[in-house]
Amino acid sequence: MKLWKHHAAQPQADRINALAAKRGDAFLADYGGRTSSEWLVAKALQALEEDPDVYAAAASFVEAGDWLVSALTGKLVRNSCGAGYKGFWSAERGFPPREFFRALDARFADMPEKLGGEIMPPGRAVGWLGIGPRVGVVVAANLAALAAGTMLVALVRSEGFASGVAHRSAWLLALAPSASHGLLRDAGSGTGSFASTLKR
């Protein structure tokens, strides 16, 4: 297991960025010309280079949330949000071609096979927990925490309403006539820099 905030795969991410830029791979533009060491492909390449036997034994490289959905439902599904920004997938192009992975390392040419599973939009029903189909609790395709919070933005439609997410990091969105409105003042000391940023 590799933690998302672990940055040891930065050399691999730098090589991915350089190769994609040199080849003119379309996916790089999707990320502003730079991918991250926190993402799946750099971490998989790091695993290959540091322990080829572990890489070879891995049937799949899967985001933790997608793995959890798979464990609960018995069906490997990748959420389109994570597959997109962590695996370089797009609905138009799919994952990068085998040649891209091979150009990074000849042993990495099989990476497309390790990215299997149906791609589903976050929140779409994958399966059920309970006594049978459509009885019990629906299990949906994974959605990253920050992305889940951004969906709450749609709910912020009137002054005085706030939504927020507290997970690995936290944020608060509020609609108010000004950044110094009471809602932000009352939210606590952690919003001071956020409020002052909004005023600028």
**pLDDT mean over 127-153:** 68
**pLDDT mean over 92-114:** 97
The more confident residue out of 162 and 9 is: 9
Quote the mean pLDDT of the chain: 78
The pLDDT assigned to 161 comes to 53
The pLDDT assigned to 31 comes to 87
Could you report the per-residue pLDDT of 24-81, keeping only the tens digit for each? 999 999 888 999 999 999 999 999 999 999 999 999 999 988 999 999 899 999 999 8
Is domain 10-129+131-140 given the CATH code 3.30.420.40 in the classification?
Answer: yes
Comparing CA positions, the residue from 139, 149, 137 lying closest to residue 66 is 139
The pLDDT assigned to 188 comes to 37
Domain assignments of the chain as residue spans, ordered by start: 10-129+131-140, 145-199
Percent of the chain having pLDDT more than 90? 50
- Residue 115 confidence class, pLDDT cut points 50, 70, 90: very high
**pLDDT mean over 139-145:** 78
**pLDDT mean over 110-120:** 96
Could you report the per-residue pLDDT of 146-178, keeping only the tens digit for each? 555 555 555 555 555 554 544 445 554 455 555
The pTM of this model reads 0.73
Residue 97 is classified by DSSP as P
Q: Select, from the ranges 5-9, 167-171, 180-184, the one with the highest average predicted confidence (pLDDT).
A: 5-9
CB-neighbour burial class of residue 83 (10 A; exposed 0-12, middle 13-18, buried 19+): buried
